């Protein structure tokens, strides 16, 4: 069935006139009548009773009209979905947590652009909750994240790229701020705050078992800037991944020497598209020399 003929039928049925429908479609009235004649010939029954006062739908035409409108609506929705799919096939949406400095994506996007110049990369920074909500719903393709439980939730996959330890972040006036590096033994008697225990699995248990003199606690995830400043002024030490050093430019940052390391990588949905597979392969190659 010719969908142009179907559109012509719907317009004539709605306007009740060949001339009015022809004006709307920017065609001549005889050309429009010819389309309706071809449609009636194809389907095998009359759609309109033609008379001096205009046209009226036949009984079969009324039934056909209701179904034709459904067909037109479904076709419009189908085409919109196909266009969105075609557009997304030329775009990859990469997300990072708002407020944190992305470390992986800047090292991937250049090589990926060089290899796939036709693919548009769309960086997005959102809250952690929104990032994963968008990832699960298909509005996001890849998220930079840690080897934490959220990265391994049902329907998600995790690709580790960089393994790193932690830095000790403190006030520049702290007695340990001038050291080139610190060990956990150096932190005995100190108040150590970890932002998220789930991002450094095993650390809490290890410290409690081997360094009970360290006062270890998890930080307030919703603390404002001034609360954090006051915390450091009161002598607290926090742990942060080395790739976030630029965020703490006004504080002292000292590497923590220890055997434990944790990964940062990319989270993506199961059964990734070809474009996401290409992005992941590019990421692996970009970080192939990482220890």
Question: CB neighbours of 208 closer than 8 A, spacing ≥ 6?
Answer: 216
Which domains does the chain show, CATH number per domain?
A: 3-87 (1.10.10.10), 89-163+263-286 (3.40.190.10), 166-260 (3.40.190.10)
**Rounded to whole angstroms, how far apart are CA atoms 265 and 4?**
51
Radius of gyration of the chain (CA): 32
Place of tokens 């976030």: 244
Rounded distance between C-alpha atoms, residue 134 and residue 137, angstroms: 5
DSSP helix/strand/coil, 183: coil
Tokens, residue 132: 């994963």
The helix, strand and coil proportions of the chain, stated in percent and rounded to the nearest 5, come to: 45, 25, 30
Sorted by sequence, the CB contacts under 8 Å of residue 5 that are 6+ apart come out as 35, 36, 38, 39, 42
Q: Are 208 and 201 in contact (CB under 8 A)?
A: no
Cα–Cα–Cα angle for 289, 180, 186, rounded to 5 degrees: 110
Q: Provide the residue-wise pLDDT of the chain in tens; the chain has 291 residues.
A: 788 888 999 999 998 888 888 888 888 989 999 999 999 999 999 999 988 777 899 999 999 999 999 998 888 888 877 765 665 568 999 999 987 767 899 999 999 999 999 899 999 999 999 999 999 999 999 999 999 999 999 999 999 999 999 999 999 999 999 999 999 999 999 999 998 898 899 999 999 999 999 999 998 765 566 777 788 999 999 998 887 776 667 889 999 999 999 999 999 999 999 899 999 999 999 999 866
Give me the pLDDT at residue 76, please.
84
Query: Of 228, 291, 5, 274, which Cα lies nearest the Cα of 116?
Result: 274
Per-residue H/E/C for 86-128: HHHCCEEEEEEECCCCCCCHHHHHHHHHHHCCCCEEEEEEECH
Question: Hey, what are 153's tokens?
Answer: 């939730």
């Amino acid at each position: 069935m010719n969908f142009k003929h179907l559109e012509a039928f719907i317009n004539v049925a709605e306007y009740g006139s060949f001339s009015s429908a022809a004006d709307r479609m920017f065609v001549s009235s005889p050309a429009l009548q010819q389309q309706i004649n071809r449609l009636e010939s194809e389907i095998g029954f009359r759609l309109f009773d033609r008379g001096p006062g205009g046209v009226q739908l036949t009984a079969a035409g009324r039934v056909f009209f209701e179904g034709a409108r459904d067909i037109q609506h479904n076709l419009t929705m189908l085409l919109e979905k196909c266009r969105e799919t075609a557009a997304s096939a030329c775009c990859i949406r990469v997300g990072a947590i708002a407020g944190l400095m992305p470390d992986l994506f800047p090292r991937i996007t250049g090589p990926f652009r060089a290899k796939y110049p036709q693919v548009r990369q769309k960086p997005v920074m959102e809250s952690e909750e929104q990032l994963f909500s968008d990832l699960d719903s298909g509005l996001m393709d890849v998220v930079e994240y840690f080897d934490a439980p959220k990265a391994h939730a049902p329907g998600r996959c995790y690709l580790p790229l960089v393994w790193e330890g932690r830095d000790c972040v403190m006030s520049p006036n702290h007695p340990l701020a001038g050291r080139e590096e610190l060990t956990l033994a150096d932190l005995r008697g100190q108040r150590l705050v970890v932002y998220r225990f789930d991002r450094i699995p095993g650390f809490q248990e290890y410290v409690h078992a081997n360094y009970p003199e360290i006062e270890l606690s998890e930080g307030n995830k919703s603390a404002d800037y001034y609360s954090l400043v006051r915390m450091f002024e009161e002598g607290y030490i926090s742990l942060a991944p080395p790739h976030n050093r630029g965020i703490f430019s006004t504080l002292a940052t000292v590497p923590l020497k220890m055997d434990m390391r944790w990964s940062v990588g990319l989270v993506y949905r199961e059964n990734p598209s070809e474009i996401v597979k290409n992005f992941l392969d590019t990421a692996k190659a970009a970080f192939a020399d990482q220890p």
